[in-house]
Structure 1
Amino acid sequence: MTDLPTLLTCLLFLAIALLYACAGQAGASGYIAVMALLGYAPESIKPTALILNTLVSLVVSWRFVKDKHFDWPLFWPFALGALPLALLGGYLTLPQQWFEYLLGVLLLIAGGLSFLRKPSAETQPQAPRRSVAYAWGALIGLMSGLTGVGGGVLITPLLLFFNWSGVRTAASVSALFILLNSVVALIGHWSATSFYLPEGIALLAVMAVAGGLLGARLGSRVLTPSQIRLVLNVILIVAGLKMILSA
């Protein structure tokens, strides 16, 4: 890539990480869409998205946990169900077109759920039964491993739709969920195929982490819950449409 395209790509990754981190996300679906549009080698997209997801979710998790929004009893059953299936999903490789359609449809479904269910000030969130959390975690873990996303764009609207948590708690649970699933899926992908990464990934990683740090601070301390939900809805719908239209 020439200098100008490299600069534009870095700015795009910075903006994506910032926007996603506001809602406790790490940006994988955004990175995937940008890389597909810019003509990155298909075999480089999944591992690159997983690496950036791991780095950004690490700083986002740190911020939301530090600010005491995290709920361990809510988190661990989802994570326990997800991790083995994320490893399996990372090991498998889908045809490119299937990969894009699957991710796009999942994001649109998640965005629709987030729009349909409005929060009630009178109803306190209540965590699901462990068996329910295990099952949902397993499904999301498999999808995250297959597609290269960390699962945050799926678990966050799920938590909010069923009123299993508040907005900032959902964001904090999502961030750590993304981190663990991304690491496990990356291990699975690494063990299944040769690891191909694009030139300049170190610079892209620096820009994504910078965006993640700023976005996480905004989401954890500045934005209101309704504003965070709006950001999440925009992320899900736009990313889902981009993946389907570009497939």
Structure 2
Amino acid sequence: MNSSWLKQHAWVLNLVVASLAFYHYQKAGYHRPKLSLMFIFASLPAAFYGGTLKVDGAVYDTLLSAALLFAAFRLATTQHDEVQLEILPPPPMQTTVPIGASIGFLSGMIGVGGGIFLSPILVLKRWATPKAAAATAALFIWVNSAAGLLGAQLSGQLTLSVDPLVSFAVAVGLGGFVGSKFGAEKAPQSTIRWLLIGVLVLATAKRGIDLLS
């Protein structure tokens, strides 16, 4: 399995999980449309272009692992209660455009939705609570994954294997439904924060294993 095959299948699974996550967080009232659109505006074309590229290399994996680990470290060492913390208004376009475009391009190149990078930024910059960040990240992931798939299709790289994809889609769909429903309706803000840290650490570990194998 090459990197193009892996990232394309990851995008399809992202569409399943992100749809469920966005549904639950939006239904619970955590979605802020203006905040989401300001980042998606620039990420969509960037993810599309990134999806047309084929990128491999140990240096790239190393840089990605470092970025994920740094985001987890910042979240873990920033001590405050998000429920009581004043949330700032959405940032201006001159801030959201470079952030959205950079994450979108990275998402298109490596096959992630980008929410794993956007969520820590939203929380650390106080633009959203962890649950509001989860809602925006879910929509961000869906849009970037769809754009990446379209880019792969138009560049002649799309190679999806239906049988394993269906099996994995059912599994991640069930997990995504339960997890997002719990996160949106039951879990406190601090739990969502630490779950995000855990996801970042696991993603870093996976990249490290891939790098060493």
State the TM-score, normalized to the length of structure 2. 0.91
Deviation at 1:50, TM superposition (A): 0.6
Deviation at 1:244, TM superposition (A): 2.1
Question: How many equivalent pairs are there?
Answer: 208
Deviation at 1:52, TM superposition (A): 0.3
Distance 1:194 1:129 in 2: 36
Q: Which of 160, 177, 191 does residue 227 from structure 1 map onto?
A: 191
Distance 1:230 1:123 in 2: 17
Where does the alignment leave 5 or more consecutive residues of structure 1 unmatched?
1-39
Deviation at 1:98, TM superposition (A): 4.5
Instruction: Describe the superposition over 1:193-241 as per-residue Cα deviations: whole angstroms up to 9, x where unpaired.
Output: 3322344211111111111111110100111111111111011012112
Q: Does 1:143 align with 2:106?
A: yes
1:243 maps to 207
Q: How does 1:1-247 map to 2 (within 5 A)?
A: 40-120=1-81, 122-126=84-88, 127-198=90-161, 199-247=163-211
Deviation at 1:74, TM superposition (A): 1.1
Deviation at 1:99, TM superposition (A): 4.8
Contact conserved, 2:4 with 2:54, CA < 8 A, in 1?
Answer: no
- Higher mean C-alpha deviation, range 105-114 or range 227-236: 105-114
Letter in 1 for 2:85: T
Post-superposition, which runs of at least 4 consecutive aligned residues in structure 1 deviate over 4 A?
A: none
Distance 2:175 2:33 in 1: 26
Q: Counterpart of 1:93 in 2: which secondary structure? A: coil
Deviation at 1:41, TM superposition (A): 4.4
Deviation at 1:96, TM superposition (A): 4.8
Letter in 2 for 1:93: K
Deviation at 1:73, TM superposition (A): 1.5
The Cα RMSD (Å) is 1.7
Where does the alignment leave 5 or more consecutive residues of structure 2 unmatched?
none
Letter in 2 for 1:180: V
